[in-house]
Amino acid sequence: MEHSAYKEEVYTKRVRAGKRTYFFDVRPTRSEKDFYITITESRRITDQEFEKHKIFLYKEDFGKFIDALDETVDFVQAALEREEIEKVPPAVIESEMAEVE
């Protein structure tokens, strides 16, 4: 049996969000002794064509990823509550992005 680059998922969660659908898939590593997550954004382009973007997330990065996502969501929610999102200078946003990397 030939193995594909994208092994069969052992768990999946689908999130529909307007014109986009997000898939959170748990897949086994090559050794099949560990797991990683793929996060896929799928957007319909035509009736039969989809544009997909995929992120691979490995267990050693889960904490950093979750922390960065939480901080980013908190920033957006706070900014929207203050109605100041348009007043944030681009340099501040770029500086915040550089810290995540």
Percentage of the chain beyond pLDDT 70 is: 74
* In the chain, where the domains are located: 11-100
Type of residue numbered 83: E
**3-class secondary structure, 23:** strand
CB atoms within 10 A of CB 42: 15
Contact 44, 65 (CB under 8 A): no
| Nearest-angstrom CA–CA distance, 83 and 85 | 6
Query: Between β-strands 50-58 and 35-44, what pairing exists: parallel, antiparallel or unpaired?
Result: antiparallel
Taking the complete model, does pTM exceed 0.75, yes or no? no
Question: What is the CATH code for 11-100?
Answer: 3.10.450.700
Q: What are the tens digits of pLDDT across the range 40-83?
A: 999 988 888 999 999 999 999 999 999 999 999 998 888 887 77
